[in-house]
Amino acid sequence: MFRPRHSPLAAILWGGFVAGTLDIGAASLISGYNPLVILRYVASGLLGRGALAGGLPEAALGLVLQWAMSLLIAAIFVLIVGRRVAATRQWPVWGVAYGVVVFVVMNYVVVPLSALHATPHFSTFNFIANLAAMLLFGWIIALFARNKLAH
């Protein structure tokens, strides 16, 4: 019988969509840019700099890509350590630690390998703000893993 409360798929979907959506808002707040600009920036990782001058189609692609990456990031966490983390009181620590991993991989692997070929250079504020956003991202995924996988 299907038990949605204890479903890895539910943890992945909820964690990925919530964290990914809030990440767009966080990026908008940190940068001061409209969320549609943020989404076009995400799309530029696949399409190159031309996406930055695009419109709603590029923003929609950016949203799909953002959610796809967020779901993949959530799936990695849930499938590798989800049940173990859900069974402990240290789930917030695991989530925050995963946020650090996500920050490093996204900024120093994914973005440089994207069509933008960008290298990260942060001001102190932007470094702290972006790291904090990824700590929250990881915490949200761990929260949904705990809520959907705990027995």
Name the more confident of 20 and 120: 20
pLDDT on residue 83: 87
Mean pLDDT, residues 124-140? 97
* Greater model confidence, 82 or 40: 40
Domain segments of the chain: what residues?
4-149
Give the pLDDT band (50/70/90) at residue 1.
very low
Query: How would DSSP label each residue in the chain?
Result: ---GGG-HHHHHHHHHHHHHHHHHHHHHHHH---HHHHHHHHHHHHH-GGGGG--HHHHHHHHHHHHHHHHHHHHHHIIIIIHHHHTSTTHHHHHHHHHHHHHHHIIIIIHHHSTT-------HHHHHHHHHHHHHHHHHHHHHHHHHH--
Mean pLDDT for the stretch of residues 76-100? 94
Across 4-27, average pLDDT: 92
Average pLDDT over residues 8-34: 97
Is the predicted pLDDT of residue 3 greater than 80, yes or no?
no
